[in-house]
Chain A
Amino acid sequence: MKELLGRAVAGLAVDYVDIRHEENRRIRIAFRGRRLSDIAEYSNSGSHVRVYDRGGKATASVSDPDRLHAAARSAAAAARLVGSRRERPLRLAPRVGASGSFPVRTPNDVRRLSLSEKLALVSHYNDQILRDPTVVDTEADYDEFVSRRTLVTSEGQAVEYELVNVTIYGLIITKQEGVVQRVRFAFGGCEDGARLLGREEDLAQLTAIAHDLPLAEPARAGTLPVILDPSEAGLFIHEAFGHLSEADGLQNNPGFRARLKLGVTLGGPILNVTDDATLPALPGSYEVDDEGSSARKTRLISDGRLTGRLHSRETATEFGEPPSGNMRAVDAHFTPLVRMSNIFIEPHGAALDDMVASIDHGYYLCGAKGGQTTGDQFTFGATWGYRIEGGRIGPLVRDINMSGELFSTLAAISMVGNDLSFAERGGCGKGGPQQLNRKSGKGAPHIKIDRVTVGGV
C-alpha cells in the first residue's frame, strides 16, 4: 500500500500532499432487551487526500482505490483555487513525526477471542441487568473497531499505525410508578480486553441506582454549588474547556481568540488541566496522529493559567505555537480535525467529605450523561445525584442538566479532589459533517464548583 500511495503522492506537483489509506474492521453485537438486535462482523477501506498548494487547502475522500489518482489531481486544482483567493496563505509547521510502524500491542488482545465468546460476554452482562424486576428494557452493545492506517506524505514520511478500541456499553432502563429512567454503563474503551472482564460488581451497583432512580425527586431549577463525581468532572472539563483548547475552533474567531491568549488566568492555582495521548490504554490514547505527528502530552492549564493549546500543523503555524499531534479523523471519509486525546483535571488533594461539609444547600452529581459546547457556553447532564443539605448528603435526585459559561465557571472551581479516574468510553462530536470520535478520553477527580445553573422543575 505504501508504494501505491507513494506513486499517487509523487504524481502531484504541489507544495504538500498526504494520503491516508485505511483498512478498518468492526464487530458489533447489540442486545435490546432480550432480543439480539444486531450482530455483524465486517470490514471496509477508503482513502483520504489532503493537498496544500500556493496557500490553499483541499481534501478528497474516495471509497474506490481506482479513483484515488483523479481525486488527488482534483484536490490539487481545488487547493490552488482556494490559495488564489486568500490574502493570508495557509501553511504547515515543520513535521514532528518520523516514519515507521506503530502497531497496537497489548497482553490482553481482545481480538484473540472468538465471536461466540464475545457474544457470550455481552449476553452475560445483559442477562444480569434483566434480572432486576424494575428493568423494562436494556441496551447492551459490544463494539470492536480496528483500524490499520497508512500515511504517506510528499515530505518523504511513511507511517503505518493501528488504532484499536473495544467497549461494552449500554443502558439500564427502569420503570417505577410510570417514570422511566436510564443509567449508562461502559467497560473498556481501549485496546485492553481485560477491562471487559469481571465487571459484574460495577454493573450491580449501577443497576441498583437505576432501580431506585424512577422514585427519586426531580432536580429543582436554580443556581447553586455542586460537587461533580470524576465522570461528571471529566465531562465538564471536556465540554467547558477542552473544545476551546482546540485551535481550529478559534482559528476564525478573532474576538474569542483574543480572550484565550496563552498566559491568561482561567482559574485558581488548584486548577491544572492536561491533554495526554501517550497515557497507556485509555480511550484517547494513540502514538501517531492522522497527519503523521507523534502523540504527546500538552499542559493546557497550569496553576490556573492557560499554558498550552491543541494544534494541527496548520493551526500551529497560524498561532505561532508548537504542534501538539492532535489532528485526527474518525475514518477515511473525513478530513482530520484538531481533537482532544485524553483530557483530564489533575488531582489536587481535597477529600470528598470536606467538599460535602462545605455546602449548605446544593447537589452532588454523578454519572456523566453527555454534554455540548457552543463557544463559551456549555451544557452537560448527570444521570443521578444527591441533594446536599447542611453539609450532609441527602436524597437521590434525577433529571439533572447543568449549563454555564466557561470563564466564570472555571473561576468558580473551589476544590479539587485526589481521586483521579478516567471514563471508559469515548465519544465526542465535532465538525460538519459531524465526526463522532470514540477515541476521546476524559478524566478528573471529584471537584466542587461554587455556582452552576441547574435546569429542573
Chain B
Amino acid sequence: MQDAIDRACGVVDFAELHWTRERTLSVGYGDGHLQSIVDNDLSSVALRVIDKGRLGSTFGLRPDEPSLVEQAVRAASYGDKATFSFAGAAEAPRVDHYHEEVAHFTAEDLVRLCDAVRDAVRRVRPDVALHVHASAATTRRTVRTTLGANMDDRSTSLVLAFGAPIRGVGVSVNRSLGAVGSFAAPLDLVAEFDTWYAWTENASTPRTGRMPVIFAPEASFLYLLPLWAGLAGNAIEKKTSPVTERMGETILSPRLTLRDDALRAGDPASRPFDDEGVPCQRRTLVESGVLRGLLLDLRSAAALGLASTGNGIKRELFTAGTEIQPNPWAVNWIVEPGDSSLEAMIAELDEGLLVTGGIGFHSGNYSQGAFSVQAVGFHVRAGRVIGRLDRTMLSGNIYTDFLRVRSLSREARRAYTSMLSAGGGCAPYVLVDSLQVAGV
C-alpha cells in the first residue's frame, strides 16, 4: 500500500502522517436492564505537510487516499510559515498496554461483566435505578514522517462504569474502573458505591465562607486541568501562564509532587509516543511544590528554544481525536500519595467538604489557575459525613489555595473525567486547608 508519506516524498518539504484504527465494543444497561450494544470499527488519518516552508494539514479515513497530499499542499499554500519541523527517527520506549484477551472480548463477555456488577450492587442496594456501561477497545496508532519517524503501537482498554441516581434528585453516584487487561467485577468499588450512596440520603448545605476541602481522586481534574493549562508551552510562550518564568520556584504546597508518567505499565492512558511521533517519557512536573517541568509539543518547544517533551496530544478540553491539531497536554498524570487516610482527614474536620466532582468546570477562568464549580460530594461536620452537598459552590485558585495542603492519603487511584475529554490520571485524596464555599 502506498500511503501519503510515500506519495509526499519529493513533493513537499516534509510530511507527517497520523493514522488511528479503533474497534470499540460496548454495552449499556439502564435501570438494571441491558439496553443496547454498540460496535464501532473506525479509521481516521491526519496529514500535515510543510511545503515551500509553509504548514498545511488535511484529514481523511485511510492513509492511501490519493487526494490527501494534494489537499494538504493546497492548505499549505495559504498556511503560515512553519516554525518547527516534524519528528525524526527515534526509538519508542516499550509500554505494556496490549492484552490479547481484551482484544478478543465479545458482547457476551461484556454482558457477563455487567451482570456481575449489577448483581453485586443489587445485593446491597436492590432498589436503585442502576446504570452500567462497559466497553472493550483495541486501538492501533501509527505516526510516520518523511524525516524517518516510524512509530506503531497497539493497545487495549477495558472500561467499566456504573452508578445510580439519588432518589428523586437526578444526580447520580458513579464509580468507574479502567485497565488494559481483563478484570472481574470490582467488589471494592461496589462497597464504596454503597457507602457513598448511604451518605446521599440527607441533603446538606454548608455555610458561606472559607473551609477545608478534601478532593477525592475523581475530583483531581478540578485542580490539575488548571495546572496543565499553566504548564502548556503555548501559554508560557505567550506569557499568559501564571507560572511564566517561574521554573525552580515554589508554585504549590511542598506536600505536592506531580508527575506525567506516559510509560506506566498496565495503564490505559499510557503510550510510547505522542501524536507527533515523539517518544513519551516519565517526567516530574512539580517536585515538593517546586516547578520542575513544562508540557511541550513540537511547535511550542521550538518557540521556546527547547525540545518537545512528547506531550503533543490531539486533545482539547471537550474533544479528542484525529481531527484535533496536537496541543501540549499531560498524558497520564500522577499525584504522589502521602501517609494519611480519608478516614483521618474526615475525622479532623470541624466543618468542610469531601468533593467527588464539580459541575461547570469549563465556565471558570481555568487557564489562570481558577476554578468555580457547583461542588458534588459530601458535607462534613464534627468529624463525620452528614449528607450530600446541596446548592454549594466551590471556588479557588490553585496558585494561592493549593500552597496550603494539609495532607494526602496513602490510597491513590485512577480517575476519569466524565464530561471533559481531558484524559485521566492517578491521585490520592488531597486535603486543602481553606477554600471559598458559597452555601447558605
Contact = CB atoms under 8 A, between A and B. Distances in A.
Interface of A: 26, 30, 32-33, 35-46, 56-64, 67, 71, 74-75, 78-79, 81-82, 85-88, 90, 115-116, 119, 136-137, 173, 175, 179-182, 221-223, 244, 251-256, 259, 333, 335, 369-381, 399, 401-405, 429, 432, 434, 436, 453-457
A175 B61 CA distance: 41
A403 B238 contact: no
A179 B360 CA distance: 21
Contact of B33 (A26, A40, A88): A88
A265 B376 CA distance: 27
Nearest to A406: B170
Given A67-B41, A252-B131, A375-B169, A453 B393 contact: yes
Nearest to A435: B319
A359 B40 CA distance: 54
A86 B34 contact: yes
Contact of B421 (A182, A223, A434): A434
B132 to A, nearest CB: 11
Given A221-B395, A252-B31, A377-B171, A42 B38 contact: no
Nearest to B59: A42
Given A36-B80, A399-B370, A44 B75 contact: no
Contact of B438 (A43, A86, A136, A453): A453
A381 B360 contact: yes
A405 B205 CA distance: 13
B271 interface: no
B362 interface: yes
Interface string B381-408: 0000000001111110000000000000
Contacts of B107: 78, 81
A32 B328 CA distance: 14
Given A136-B238, A453-B438, A401 B30 contact: no
Nearest to A79: B37
B81 to A, nearest CB: 9
B368 interface: yes
B39, B368, B376 — which one has the most chain A CB atoms within 10 A of its CB? B39
The 5 A-B pairs of least Cβ separation, nearest first, read A375-B170, A381-B363, A379-B360, A252-B30, A455-B393
A457 B376 contact: no
A379 B359 contact: yes
Given A81-B107, A455-B438, A63 B44 contact: yes
Interface in B111-129: 111, 129
B80 A403 contact: no
Contacts of A67: 41
Given A173-B240, A252-B35, 20 more contacts: A33-B238, A38-B57, A38-B325, A46-B61, A62-B41, A64-B41, A64-B43, A116-B78, A175-B240, A182-B367, A221-B436, A254-B31, A378-B359, A379-B360, A380-B360, A380-B363, A381-B363, A401-B395, A432-B161, A455-B394
| Binding site secondary structure of chain B | mixed
A454 B58 CA distance: 43
A432 B38 CA distance: 11
B337 interface: no
Contacts of A335: 36, 38
Given A35-B80, A39-B56, A78-B39, A429 B318 contact: yes
A118 B131 CA distance: 46
B293 interface: no
A214 B131 CA distance: 44
B108 A63 contact: no
Interface string B238-250: 1110000000000
Given A62-B42, A136-B240, A85 B33 contact: yes
A75 B208 CA distance: 53
A255 B167 contact: yes
A397 B38 CA distance: 47
B31 to A, nearest CB: 4
A81 B37 contact: yes
A256 B360 contact: no
Contact of A180 (B43, B58, B367, B391): B367
8 contacts: A46-B61, A62-B40, A85-B33, A223-B391, A375-B169, A403-B359, A403-B393, A454-B393
A440 B149 CA distance: 41
B266 interface: no
B379 interface: no
B60 interface: yes
Nearest to A454: B438
Interface in B270-299: none
A406 B419 CA distance: 20
Given A39-B56, A63-B42, A405 B133 contact: no
B440 interface: yes
B318 A453 contact: no
A165 B350 CA distance: 53
B156 interface: no
